Amino acid sequence: MAFLVPCPNCGERNVYEFRCAGEIVTRPNSDAPQSERTAYLYLRKNVAGEQREWWYHKLGCRKWFTAIRNTVTNEVTETAWPDETVA
């Protein structure tokens, strides 16, 4: 992997500077049934194509943001600050 990721704060940087925390999943309430919690913890869609992901600029500004990345081509088409939809 060697692609560029446009950090909303720092601009385009080498992917080595970042940590990808995977596809964005919604955390269930604490009283949600076990099956829902298991799905949240362990099950991922694992799409071949565009998905919305968590990214952290670990070796840079150390801010979290979201990105839309094509998992097949590693093309990052959009990055944005997290909003309430991912909180």
Partner 1 sequence: MNSDSVQHRLKPHPTQLIDYSKALLFEFEGRVVQAQEGDTIASALYAAGVRTFSRSFKYHRRRGLLCVAGRCPNCMMTVDDVPNVRACIESVRSGMRVRRQNAWPSVEYDALSILDRLDWALPVGFYYKSLHRPKLLWRIASPTIRRITGLGTLPVETEREDGQYHHEYRHADVAVVGGGPAGMSAALSAVKSGADVILIDDQTSLGGNLRFNTQTHSDLSGVKENTGYKVSVELSQSVHDSGKIEILSSATAFGIYEDNYIGVLRGDVLTKLRAKAVVVATGTQETPGVFEKNDLPGIILSSGLQRLIHLYGINPGSSALITTSTDAGYHTAIDLMNQGVRIAAIADSRANFPDHLQQAVDLQSEGVLILTAHAASRAEGGRHVIGGVVARIVNGKLTTEERQFDCDIFAMSGGYQPASWLLEQTGASLSYDDSIGERVPRTLPASVFVTGEITGTHELNTLLVQGRQSGTEAANKALGKSINSDHHETQISVKNSRPISAPPPVGLDNAARRFVCFCEDLTAKDIEQGIDEGFRDIQTLKRYSTVTMGPCQGKMCLKAVNRMTAERTGATIDEIGVTTARPPVQPVPLGALAGPSHIPIKRSPIFAKHLEMSAEITDMSPWQRAYSYSSPQEECMAVRERVGIIDVSTLGKIYVQGKDSGTLLDKLYTHRFSDLRQGRVRYGILCSDDGTIIDDGTVARITDDRYFITTSTGNIELVEEWMKWWMAGTNMCVHVTNVTSGYAAINVAGPHARETLSKLTDIDITADNFRYMRFKSGTVAGVPAMFLRIGFVGELSWELHFPAEYGEYMWDALMEAGREYGISPFGVEAQRILRLEKKHIIVAQDTDAVTNPLETDSAWAVKFDKDDFIGKGSIAAAGKRGLKKRLVGFIIKDSQVVPKDGDPVVIGDQPIGHVTSSRMSPTIGRGFGLAWVPSDFAEENREIFIRVGRQNFSANITLKPIYDPEGKRLRS
Site for partner 1 in 12-41 (CB under 8 A): 14, 19, 21, 27-30, 32, 34, 37, 40-41
| Residues pairing with 13 in the sheet | 5
Nearer to partner 1, 49 or 84 (CB): 84
Single-letter amino acid, residue 77:
T
Residue 35's identity, in one-letter code, is: S
E strand intervals along 4-57: 4-7, 11-14, 19-23, 50-56
Residues lying near partner 1 in the complex (CB under 8 A) are found at 1-4, 14, 19, 21, 27-30, 32, 34, 37, 40-41, 54, 56, 58, 62-64, 73-74, 82-87
